[in-house]
Structure formats: C-alpha cells, structure tokens
Structure 1
Amino acid sequence: MHLVNSMAYVGQQPWHGLGNQLAPKQPIEVWAKQAGMDWQIESADVCFISGNAGSTLGSIHAFPEQKVLYRSDTKAPLSVVSSRYQVVQPRAILEFYRDLTEIGGFELETAGVLKDGKKLWALARTGQSVSLKGKDTVNGYLLLATACDGTLATTAQFTSVRVVCNNTLQIALGDSAGAVKVPHRSQFDAQAVKRQLGIAISSWDGFMARMKALSECRVNDTAAEAFFRRVLTYQTGASQPVAATNDSAIKAVQALYAGKGMGATLASASGTAWGLVNSVSEYCDHHRRARSDDHRRDAAWFGAGADIKQRAWDEAMRLVA
C-alpha cells in the first residue's frame, strides 16, 4: 500500500508517480485541498472502562495525562500523546510558506500526507541552483515536515535535489546543520524558525563551492571501494560494538557508481567524489530495501537513509580537504 495517501505537486510528476498536479502559483487554500491537508488535528482525553467484562459494562474513566489525537474529517485516530504535547496543524505547514512564496521568491513544488496523516510535509524550491560542469543541475529546496505520532520534531531543513535523478541531500555546513527542529514540547513559532533559517540560506554558496570541488576531485577504483566500505560499515550491538559491513549495499552502490546510476556517466560524476556521493544518495532515495516507496522516502529524509547520506558527504569532504 502506498502511504502517500494524498499529495499535490507542480511541474514534473514526483518520484512515485502519484499525486494531484496543480498549475503554478496556486494559493495555499488550493494546496491544502489538493494535498489532502484540509483537515484539523483534534484531541480528546484517553478513557478506559473499568469493571466486569461480559454482559455488564463497567464505568468509564478519563486518564487526563494522555490525549488521543484524531482527524477532524474521518475521526481516524492518529496517536496517543502526553497532555503537554503541542500540536502543529496541517494548515500550519502550508501557511509557513505563504510569505516565502509571496515575497521571498520561493515556490511550493510538493506537499502531502504520509501514514494516514501521522506525518505531514511540504517542499518548496528556494530559487537557488547550480549546474556542475554545465550539465548536472542541482536545485535548492526548503523542506518543512512534522509528525503527530512522536516520531519527528517539526523540522525545517534546506535540501538539495539533483535534477537528473531526484537525489536529495541535506545541506549541512560546518556547525550549522541547515535545519531547525522544534520539539512538540514547545509551541511552533513559524517566524522564529524563519529567522533561524535566515542564517542558513546563505550556506547555499558554501554548499555550491563544495559540490564543485567534489565534481573536480578524481577518484581511482581503490579509493572508491575504500570510500564505500567506510560509509557502509556500521556498529552493531550496544554493549560490545562490532563493525558490520553491508556487502549487498556496497555491491549495489558500486554498480550505480560504475554507470548504472542516473547521471553516473556525466562528466561531473564519472570517476569523481561527486559521483561517489550520488551513488550513495541514489541508493538511499530509490533502491534501499523498505516496506514501501514511502517508508524509503521517510528514511531518506529523516531516518537511517539520511544518516548514511550524511556519512557519505562527510567522507567525501575528507577527500577534498
């Protein structure tokens, strides 16, 4: 089952071929309807029934320390959270972009709902772009996502998307992670988040310079294999960590790097450190084993896939240092 229950997009059809296509420059209200985000998250006390089972119904009691979150339209339950949990409404995710699109030159490209509404996200193009060696275009985006099942703080992060293959990389430079996270214990203050992100938007220039350096950095086969082993070797076991290598992943990534990957034969990627990074990011975004395409996308943006891509970026930075 596809867990992108509903989604809207502008321009090219997105990664999984689903969603409602919109004409450019649509108002937020249209996005909310077409992306399946035109409902509210409601809450109610957790209740339980005490007393005898069977024919006699016991008495109903509330447990005020917890609340159930549910959808206003279908009444479907979303999660059980503490009474201190601060909800971020689906509409707030889209409203976040209103002034950015009207004044800041951003353009909403995709937005939608995952896992029946437990996770909500929107992705807007910032207008920043670079073409490596004239042919390999990478665009800058801002991703805003939240979850109401406790799996994700409300997260705003700058992300790059390589056009030829839709590979995504979080833009992280030095101490600035390129992301702002607001835990659900705190009220989500959109303007405060934008002020914090304002510092990070200037990081595109530095990120661009690093991408160019990677595309100029030649790598031989031995160095490439060593790179993949470093990135895809991880620790298992908590008390006595053991290094485990994911051999099937290494094989898959090497094949992508050797020419099977989308854009692998471009001058910017063939035999370069940029090619190494993109073979790992393509593997995480499009090929890594997952229950569904949407679980893979979730992991590639926020979970294990994102961690692997970050390791690949860090290792590649050592090659050009």
Structure 2
Amino acid sequence: MAHNLNFNENTGKYSFFSVKEKAWHGLGQIVEDFPTSEEAIKHAGLDYDVIKAPLFTQGRSITIGNEGEIVEPDHILLPNNFATLRTDNNTALGVVGKDYQIVQNREAFAFFDAIVGCGDGILYETAGALGNGERIFITAKLPDYIRVGNGDDVTEKYIFLTTSHDGSGSITAAFTPVRIVCQNTLNAAFSNMSNVVRIKHTAGAKQRLEDAHKVMGLANRMATQLEGIFNEWAKVKVNDREVKELIQLALCPNKETLAHLQNGNEDDISTVFKNTVEDAFAYAMTSDTQQMETTKGTLFGAYNAVTGYYQNVRKYKDSEAKLQSIVMGGTAQGKAQKAFELCTSFSKIGSDALCFN
C-alpha cells in the first residue's frame, strides 16, 4: 500500500509526525517529547487553512448574428458549487456544495484539548495529512490508565479523529482503550453511548464538534469503570471449553450458525467460521500475553482472546481496512462489544450465559 502522505513543497517535508516511534514508512518527523496542540499541528504540517472558492468552467467560442461574429469564450460561474482550496499553496482539494461547512485543522485539535480541558494531560502521538492535504488524522493519548491485577497489565486510553476537506466523508472521532502488553483494542459496550461520533460537514458542524467532545469526555470518564470490571473478570475462572464457546458466540456471523452451534450440528457450520474460531482459540491458549496472571484461565483472558484475534492474528487488506474494522465501528469493534456483553453475563450467571449446556 502506498503511503499517500502529503508532501509539502513549501517546507520540503512530509505532513506527518509521531512521538519516538519510527515515522510512517520512514517518512515525516519523529519527535522525542509529546507536543502541545500548537506544536503538533506544525510538526504534522497541518498549519494551513482551507477556504471555499467560487468554481468556474471555460466557455466555448460561439457565432452570433448573420455576419458570423465570433464571441470568445469566457469563464462561466457554476452556481452552488465551490472548490475547497488550501490557502498556503493554492492546491484545490475537492468540489463541495453550498451547504458544506469547513472545519479547520486547528478546530480539530481544539476538539481534543476540550475533552480534558485546555489540553491538560492530552498527549498527541501522531498526526498527518494524506493526498494533497484533503484528509487529516490525529491520535492522542488521554491521561490515566486502566490497571488490571498487580498493575503490570496496563491499558491506555486513546482518541482518534479523522476529517476531510474534499466532501468525501464525515468528521469521525472514536474513543478506544488499548492494552499495552499486546496492543489489543479493548472496545467495550458502554450503555446508551457510542464510542464513535460522526458529524457531517453541514451547517452546525462546528457546534456539533464542540458538543462531541463532551461525549468523548464522558467515554473517557466511564472508561475508569472498566478498571473495576476487568479486575473482576481477572478473578473469574473459566475452563478451555467455556473460552471456546464464548469465542464461538462472540464471532458468530448469523442466526443460522448460532442455531447449528446450539444444536451441535458441527457439520453444517462453514469451514471459514470454524477456522476463525480455531485461530482465536489458539491465540487464547498460546499467546504470551494470554499466559499472564490476569489472563490465563480467566474471563478477562477470554475477552482478550476475541480482541486480540482481530488485533494480532486476523489478516487485513491494508492498514486502513484494519483501522476501520477495529476502531471506526467495523466488524472487529462489533465482535468485541458482543464479547463484552457475553463476559458481563457470564460474570453474573456463569456458564448458563453461553447457552451451550
């Protein structure tokens, strides 16, 4: 997959930065310390504005009257159509309608700062621009951790945001906890609240973005409840059969497969599904991160078997497909939330929650 990072000819640099880790495809800037939002936007080459400019087309030469007078073409205004334009280099980014509202890059960073208040504790980890600068992305670490067991099993909390300036997509922000020891994305099903917020580039977009930081802030505060939940799960013992059954239920693709599982009709279950379950179960049984005190033979380990499979075992077409699946409300996130619900039920009523008995 091509890197598609924007190269800014004005600065001679790629529009991307990361903290300490090797920059994307070896490109962009590596910084040693977590920057402020003001510093991050410069490191990532995102310190440019975007405007809506009138859109014209070139007319054709036409002949008028009996004498055949030729009128040279003129520029014709296209009503209700606009080009989005970078003001630092006059690069056209896309074509949008009259109702399209631009959200500037600095406003995206302000969204992050507002979550915890004036940037206090926000750690900007990566940011960058793709193509000609029409799409940007930002990832930031939130303060505090989720600690399970004796404190060696640590989960960090992240916010990811992406937006476009070409009319191709919404502003999308996602909250997700990431378990450090194996980089599992531990998406949990918070009641009556989405971990992903999508905002269209229409009137009121800026206000909705300001409101969205409250939702992400609430998700951050609710994530502290996960510490208690995960620590409880780390004390609940499960056997190998129960782990496999939980994996089967969490990954089950449809009602037909579920009926076959409950009726014990193994021969009628697809080979693809069987292989997926076996791969996730093998991860649960053999991965080093599944042999910790918090995960080996525990309900927390069973939950990690599902999230870890999608993060560390499953193959994806490219990194964008993986991001969509795990963070942006795709298949992996849905399966992780199903696993969370199953583990919650199991912790309350035991193996009856699996409906396999």
Q: CA deviation at 1:187?
A: 1.8
Does 1:279 find its partner at 2:297? Answer: no
3-state SS, counterpart of residue 289 of structure 2: coil
Does 1:31 find its partner at 2:40? Answer: yes
Please give the alpha-carbon distance, in whole angstroms, between the structure 2 residues aligned to 1:295 and 1:74.
31
Q: CA deviation at 1:127?
A: 1.6
- Tell me: CA distance 1:283–1:19, structure 2 relative to 1, closer, same or farther (3 Å): farther
- Tell me which residue corresponds to 2:66: none
- Tell me: CA distance 1:151–1:319, structure 2 relative to 1, closer, same or farther (3 Å): farther
State which of 301, 323, 330 in structure 2 corresponds to 1:297: 323
- Tell me: CA distance 1:61–1:96, structure 2 relative to 1, closer, same or farther (3 Å): same
- Tell me which residue corresponds to 2:234: 215
Deviates more, 1:98-107 or 1:208-217: 98-107
* 8 A contact 1:32–1:91 mirrored in 2: yes
State which of 200, 212, 236 in structure 2 corresponds to 1:183: 200
Number of corresponding residues = 312
- Tell me which residue corresponds to 1:309: 336
Please give the alpha-carbon distance, in whole angstroms, between the structure 2 residues aligned to 1:136 and 1:288.
23
Q: Percent identity?
A: 23
3-state SS, counterpart of residue 188 of structure 1: helix
Please give the alpha-carbon distance, in whole angstroms, between the structure 2 residues aligned to 1:249 and 1:58.
63
Q: Taking structure 2 as the reference length, what is the TM-score of the superposition?
A: 0.71
Counterparts of 1:1-321 in structure 2, within 5 Å, are 1-3=1-3, 5=5, 6-12=15-21, 20-44=29-53, 63-69=78-84, 71=86, 78-98=93-113, 100=116, 102=118, 104-114=120-130, 117-134=133-150, 135-148=152-165, 153-185=170-202, 186-189=204-207, 190-235=209-254, 246-260=273-287, 263-302=289-328, 303-321=330-348
- Tell me: CA distance 1:228–1:172, structure 2 relative to 1, closer, same or farther (3 Å): closer
Deviates more, 1:304-313 or 1:264-273: 304-313
- Tell me: CA distance 1:222–1:45, structure 2 relative to 1, closer, same or farther (3 Å): farther
Please give the alpha-carbon distance, in whole angstroms, between the structure 2 residues aligned to 1:264 and 1:18.
34
Larger radius of gyration: 2
Please give the alpha-carbon distance, in whole angstroms, between the structure 2 residues aligned to 1:282 and 1:15.
23
* 8 A contact 2:159–2:174 mirrored in 1: yes
Q: CA deviation at 1:128?
A: 1.8
Q: CA deviation at 1:155?
A: 3.3
Q: Which amino acid in structure 2 is aligned with residue 293 of structure 1?
A: S
Q: CA deviation at 1:16?
A: 7.9
Consecutive unaligned residues of structure 2, counting only runs of 5 or more, are 6-14, 62-71, 256-268, 349-357
Q: Which amino acid in structure 2 is aligned with residue 93 of structure 1?
A: A
* 8 A contact 2:36–2:119 mirrored in 1: no
Deviates more, 1:251-260 or 1:67-76: 67-76
- Tell me: CA distance 1:68–1:114, structure 2 relative to 1, closer, same or farther (3 Å): same
Please give the alpha-carbon distance, in whole angstroms, between the structure 1 residues aligned to 2:31 and 2:161.
19
- CA displacement 1:136-176 (0-9 Å, x = unmatched): 11122233333446665323343211111222233542112
Q: CA deviation at 1:65?
A: 4.5
- CA displacement 1:212-262 (0-9 Å, x = unmatched): 2222222222222222222222249xxxxxx976333223212211123x5
* 8 A contact 2:3–2:25 mirrored in 1: no
Q: Taking structure 1 as the reference length, what is the TM-score of the superposition?
A: 0.78
- CA displacement 1:288-316 (0-9 Å, x = unmatched): 33222233123321133322322222232
Q: Which amino acid in structure 1 is aligned with residue 122 of structure 2?
A: F
Deviates more, 1:193-202 or 1:210-219: 193-202
Please give the alpha-carbon distance, in whole angstroms, between the structure 1 residues aligned to 2:84 and 2:34.
32
- Tell me: CA distance 1:98–1:43, structure 2 relative to 1, closer, same or farther (3 Å): same
Q: Which amino acid in structure 2 is aligned with residue 97 of structure 1?
A: F
C-alpha RMSD over aligned residues:
3.7
* 8 A contact 1:144–1:156 mirrored in 2: yes
- Tell me: CA distance 1:252–1:29, structure 2 relative to 1, closer, same or farther (3 Å): same
* 8 A contact 2:147–2:227 mirrored in 1: no
3-state SS, counterpart of residue 124 of structure 2: strand
- Greater strand proportion: 1
Please give the alpha-carbon distance, in whole angstroms, between the structure 2 residues aligned to 1:213 and 1:17.
42
